[in-house]
Structure 1
Amino acid sequence: MTDYWVIIAGYLIGSIPFSYIVGRLWAGVDIRKCGSGNVGMTNVWRNAGPAAGITALVLDLGKGMLAVWLARQYGNDLIVSLSGIAVLVGHSWPVFLGFKGGKLVATGVGVITAISLHVGITAMLTWIMVTGITRYVSVGSITAVVLIPFLMYAFHLEPPFLVLGGFAAVFAVYKHIPNIKRLIAGTEPKVVFKKS
């Protein structure tokens, strides 16, 4: 049972607040005090620029993939699934930022991609398509993550991974409750595509 240390490692990896760090280094801003206050890629993009937002996205995806890779070296499917959950918990409730973090979408897709490339790519394409059509990042994010457990089932992933996918879907929706309220009220900001 000594392999369970990788679950703790997953949480700590998830707790690394890349969006906060990128905002600080790129534009000298505390992303928690800008825009929506969310420590995530969209808020970084809006307040520190597209390049900073993409950098935050890649790093958040990467930490999800790293946690899964590490767990695969030392544990079975259950350990990998628990480590995946741990990195998502760390991203959303990071010890390094007083347990106030992001909405787990980018890191979640990183976790899922490391487990199943087919599911991860399908989720990413869904996010791009839905966000492009609706112009709401939140709608794209919720749709993509809610789709994940169904994709995992369709691709015949093992039961521990189905639990992970269900966890990601439920908690992504929970973390997006403020966005859902703004969507209902008609105050959720849309993605703006600026012409060069």
Structure 2
Amino acid sequence: MFSYLFVILISYLLGSIPFGLLLTRLVKGVDIREYGSGNIGATNAYRVMGFGMGVMVALFDISKGYISVQIAKQVFGADVAVILIIAGLAAVAGHNWPIFLKFNGGRGVATSVGILINLLPKTVLIVFFIWLIIVLTTRYVSLGSIVGAALIPILAILFNNPPIYVGLGLAIAVFVIFRHRPNIKRLLAGEENKIGWNMNVDKKDD
């Protein structure tokens, strides 16, 4: 029992590391929460500080989900699906509600991608291309993330994954869509921000 709790705790703490905040402070000496949307994730880092910073933050956030699952694999083996999934979701919970930032974190998309790369690689590959098409055609990152998240459990079923992995896809979809509630409201109102434009780093827009 202690081993299970230890892995879950480590995964949550790993997920709680605010790489978006740390990297932007290290490189630019600014608090990303004070600019753009105020979010610590890759999209806001891209809008405020450019493509390179956005990619860097995304890769670090993806690593949180991937490494959490990998730690569980090393401790319990690759066949114990339940603890692998719980460890991954603990990392997402840490990213969304980080203890280091008073439980005010990101949307959980990149960290969820890390889990899926480790456990459902075919599913995440298709979701990525669908996300990319939506983002390139509409310029709404949030819309791509919402649609992509909703497709995860459907694709898990189509690829004949075990029910527990379908449940993982459903849990990720719920997490991501729940965290995007403000974006959904702005999308419906026609007020959501698009990518592809420069934002002043001294202006917070929500």
**Structure-2-length-normalised TM-score:** 0.90
Root mean square deviation, CA, Å: 1.4
Q: Distance in 2 between matches of 1:84 and 1:14?
A: 9
Look up the match of 2:43.
42
Tell me if structure 2 keeps the 8 A contact 1:84–1:164: no
The answer on whether the counterparts of 1:18 and 1:60 sit within 8 Å (CA) in structure 2 is yes
Deviation at 1:55, TM superposition (A): 0.2
Distance 1:10 1:36 in 2: 27
The one-letter code of the counterpart of 1:139 is L
Matched, 1:20 2:29: no
Higher relative contact order structure (alpha carbons within 8 Å, sequence separation ≥ 6): 2
Task: Mark the runs of 5 or more structure 2 residues left unpaired by the alignment.
Answer: 199-206
1:63-112 deviation digits (Å, cap 9, x = unpaired): 11101111112231000011111011001001111111110001111111
- Report what 1:126 is aligned to: 130
User: Displaced runs of 4+ in structure 1, greater than 3 A?
Assistant: none
Question: Which residue of structure 2 lines up, in the alignment, with residue 105 of structure 1?
Answer: 109
Residues 84-93 or 66-75, more deviating? 66-75
Q: What is the number of equivalent residue pairs in this alignment?
A: 194
Of the three residues 156, 159, 177, the one matched with 2:181 is 177
Task: Determine the structure 2 residue equivalent to 1:69.
Answer: 70
* 1:193 CA displacement: 6.5
Partner of 1:152: 156
Identical amino acids, percent of aligned pairs? 42
Does residue 78 of the first structure (1) align with residue 82 of the second (2)? Answer: yes
Cα distance between partner residues in 1 of 2:41 and 2:183: 13
Does 2:190 align with 1:166? no
Q: Which runs of 5+ in 1 are unaligned?
A: none
2:30 & 2:129 partners in 1: Cα distance? 30
Q: Compute the displacement of 1:61 (Å).
A: 0.8
